[in-house]
Structure 1
Amino acid sequence: MKGSVIWLDSVDSTNEEMKRRLKHQNSLENYDAVVANFQTNGKGQREAKWESSAGDNLTFSFYFQPNNLKVMDAFKLNQAVSILIADFLKSIGLTNVQVKWPNDIMVNEKKVCGVLIENILSKDELLESIIGIGVNVNQSRIESNSNSTSISNELQEYFQIKVIAQELISYLRKIQDFINRPALLQTRFLDLLLGLNENRKFEVKGIEVSGKILGVSSNGNLRVLIEGKEQLFEQKQIRFLFD
């Protein structure tokens, strides 16, 4: 399987670096990755800034060209990426690995990995994806109010960032295989979904509510039962609350 890894010491954002390479050099191939020792302006979901200590964590972007993936099915990509990251984390010894919708990876209900996917579309088809991933690997000091953790904190072990990067990237090169098996994709994602069929607290329009996650719709909206009525939420319309 093709795909090379580009190693950089420092960059503003690996996603932005990939965009520049696509625009000016047209030099990326399917399954290529750009890994940076440090990002000066890393981005997360909700336009948040990804905070990472230099050399302690893994920050990289992965380039993917889907095979006949419709825009209406784009959430399959989120599902495949989340499942493969979770599988990798389990392979190195982590337990209680879950996905907080839409694609935060949690260990013991604390965030260990964030994903930001930026898609390039043509009419109704998804042509290219830049998948930005940040993994807390060796960062030992985590702000108490961040609800985050690191691989090292969970396993009490130091990890070589380059080894973690190479192994995780090899997992991600199976994305198309998962997308080609939608029934398995949905089953595996629901098995990992944090809060499925559990009473949870959320924030909706600035108000705290209680609800039960029923699953996800075909286009990736979160299905939540609130006061006896099923409601559908897009990505920025609902926020998990943790004690």
Structure 2
Amino acid sequence: MKLIKLDAIDSTNEFLKGISNKQAVENFTVVTAESQLKGKGQMGAKWDSESGKNLIMSVLVSDFLFEIEDVFNLNVVVSLAVINVLESYNIPELSIKWPNDIMSANKKIGGILIENSIKGDGTITSVVGLGLNINQIQFENLPRASSLAVICNSNFDKEEILFQIVAKLEEMIPLYKENAASIWEDYSKKLFKIEVPTAFSDENNQNFMGIITGVSSIGKLKIQLEDDSVCEYNLKEVQMLY
């Protein structure tokens, strides 16, 4: 694993994509920063992080995805890798809020943003961005955000967690190739609000009740409606109300 440490950067994802476009980059190369000026989440949402307090990282993953319809498989592996590492620190009530927020109880402690590039020869290279709230205490105007320090009333070693997450990712990718069904099953069990009646809002701002039953192979959220039918939703088509 090659580790590139930066002080401040616009975006670790953009930095890693930039160097991988110009030169051959070793698989599992990691870029980390103390502060990120233009961090982003899903659908361009801004990711704010107090300088020096949290884990901000991007890791390059190649030789895993070979078909564009399989891209969500990497979300599954990365989400579970993060959850497994945090479980070793006894972080309580961990779950994955579809598509890739990391939760402890009802609080968001992390977010994942995966960006895929298809090369001229058809190979797919992925840059996996992870923001994980570690030692930040104050979350102004973010009532649903929390951190490991707040939850456990203790400080944590960011770099130790980084190395463990990358090691777990390196371990799980070959395991996925051997037993994808088992890893998908583990992912489904960790879904936030799985099999719990929950309120949602659709793209027309219509509220409805439903039950999350899982995620499709291409990453759509499966929700059982009140008439017992099951609908599948893309990211922009549904929002959980909780």
In 2, are the aligned partners of 1:70 and 1:124 still within 8 Å (CA)?
A: no
Pairs aligned (count) = 239
Could you give the per-residue CA deviations for residues 71-107 of structure 1, whole angstroms, max 9, x where no partner exists? 1111111100000100011011112100011111100
| Ranges in structure 1 where 5+ consecutive residues have no aligned partner | none
Could you give the per-residue CA deviations for residues 121-147 of structure 1, whole angstroms, max 9, x where no partner exists? 258965210000000000101236441
What displacement does 1:150 show?
Answer: 0.2
CA distance in 2, matches of 1:125, 1:20: 19
Name the structure 1 match of 2:223: 224
4+ residue segments displaced more than 3 Å: 122-126, 143-146
1:212 and 2:192 are equivalent in the alignment: no
Name the structure 2 match of 1:164: 161
In 2, are the aligned partners of 1:178 and 1:184 still within 8 Å (CA)?
A: no
CA distance in 2, matches of 1:147, 1:70: 36
1:126/1:106 Cα in 2 relative to 1: closer, same or farther (>3 Å)? farther
TM alignment of 1:124-143, pairs within 5 A? 127-143=124-140
> 2:59 is paired with a residue of what secondary structure?
strand
Q: Which shifted more, 110-119 or 61-70?
A: 61-70
What displacement does 1:210 show?
Answer: 1.0
What displacement does 1:208 show?
Answer: 1.9
Pairing partner for 2:93 from 92, 96, 100: 96
Q: Which shifted more, 168-177 or 48-57?
A: 168-177
CA distance in 1, matches of 2:182, 2:21: 35
In 1, are the aligned partners of 2:11 and 2:38 still within 8 Å (CA)?
A: yes
CA distance in 1, matches of 2:85, 2:237: 30
1:192/1:184 Cα in 2 relative to 1: closer, same or farther (>3 Å)? same
> 2:47 is paired with a residue of what secondary structure?
coil
Scaled by the length of structure 1, what TM-score is found? Answer: 0.93
Q: CA RMSD in A?
A: 1.7
In 2, are the aligned partners of 1:64 and 1:129 still within 8 Å (CA)?
A: yes
| Ranges in structure 2 where 5+ consecutive residues have no aligned partner | none
Q: Which shifted more, 180-189 or 63-72?
A: 63-72
CA distance in 2, matches of 1:211, 1:124: 43
CA distance in 1, matches of 2:25, 2:230: 43
1:51/1:77 Cα in 2 relative to 1: closer, same or farther (>3 Å)? same
> 2:237 is paired with a residue of what secondary structure?
coil
Name the structure 2 match of 1:241: 241
Name the structure 2 match of 1:173: 170
In 2, are the aligned partners of 1:66 and 1:176 still within 8 Å (CA)?
A: no
| Same amino acid, percent of matched pairs | 31
The residue type equivalent to 1:189 in the other structure is Y
1:201 and 2:202 are equivalent in the alignment: no
Name the structure 1 match of 2:17: 19
The residue type equivalent to 1:13 in the other structure is S
The residue type equivalent to 2:240 in the other structure is F
What displacement does 1:68 show?
Answer: 5.4
Scaled by the length of structure 2, what TM-score is found? Answer: 0.93
Name the structure 2 match of 1:79: 76
